[in-house]
Amino acid sequence: MKIYLDNAATTPMLPEVIELVNKSMQSNFGNPSSTHSFGRTAKSLVETARKNIAKQFNVTPSEIIFTAGGSEADNLILRNAVTQLGVETIISSAIEHHAVLHTIASLKEEFNITSKQVDLTENGGIDYKHLEQLLAQSTTKTLVSLMHINNETGRILDLQKVSDLCQKYKALFHSDTVQGIAHFKIDLQKTPIDFIAASAHKFHGPKGVGFAYFKKGSAINPMLLGGEQERGARAGTENIHSILGMEKAIEIAYSNLEKDTAYIQDLKTYFISKIKKSIPNIQFNGMSEHTTKSSYIILNVLFPKEIKMLLFNLDLKGIAASGGSACQSGSTKGSHVLQAILSEEEVQNTSVRFSFSKLNTKVEIDYVIGVLRELVE
């Protein structure tokens, strides 16, 4: 039995997406920059996809820049905030994705910017009072970079609250929304965020494609040089087939959002109920069991002890999940997120992230819980 519960890492492509990508690869081979009919057809498809994706977030097509994924989008956004918009201070947190943390560290070294980290609450959330203090104290142009959904714990950021604070103190707001796009509705007119990042493979689309949203009026200097594609923001022939696949995946996700959300939340609730009954003293990292403070996709389980080789043994049983510390992940450093929110004693215990999709079933969960019970005992 093969069971995939690592959907926060990547998701299987939907059959409808595969079919569209396959069809496009057979018929849409023109270069979108060419002026002949093949190129014009390809260009039209790319621009229609841009328009349809923009509609989902209530923005204009010109504000969407196609990228190779979320990490490139984060890099492009943060670098341009410093080089083009005059940002000298970046406020972030210790639990951001490395695409943000490493980029900020690089910008600090290269441009001598100031970087500050907002405090975390005891249960792994952002301390909004401390964020306001940091914004009030800042004397230079400031950018706040905080992720919408934490990729390890699923903890949800209050986008509206952070947006309001940024507007109050005239700061820019960037959110890595990779784990939120196509899982939550984001209206960028109602909740003004200056920059967001997305990656198609997190919502049943192709790998290697995503987008960055730059609020109108933001100057963009490309990181990749050699062409005038993406209105000069990113050189290189557009990945037309994957862009169309992303458009299809996002369309499917938002047209079925309410139904899919209810189904996956029910799966997660079922998993929580079963594991609590089967394994005593189970806890959940970052309030990942909470129905409103955590994404319905992610559950980060803290076991009451260290269980060596747990992920390896789960894999032998056909179960895919992700580890949250060095002994599970194979990393010598472990999870920077869990190290930031757990005690030294808790970090030594085994943590596993299970993440769900609409393709999972309760039958699969029953099997996983049975295997976990055996391995823990």
C-alpha to C-alpha distance for 235 and 270, rounded to whole angstroms:
47
C-alpha to C-alpha distance for 305 and 347, rounded to whole angstroms:
10
Closest CA to 207 of 250, 247, 254, 245: 245
C-alpha to C-alpha distance for 345 and 63, rounded to whole angstroms:
46
Strand partners, 294: 155
Active site residues: 327
C-alpha to C-alpha distance for 63 and 216, rounded to whole angstroms:
6
Beta-strand (E) ranges in the chain? 3-4, 64-67, 89-92, 114-117, 142-145, 172-176, 195-199, 210-214, 283-284, 298-302, 319-320, 322-323, 351-355
Upper half-sphere CA count for residue 149 (Cβ side, 13 Å): 26
Closest CA to 103 of 70, 150, 68: 70
- Pull the structure tokens for residue 319: 């179960």
Closest CA to 103 of 79, 73, 67, 68: 79
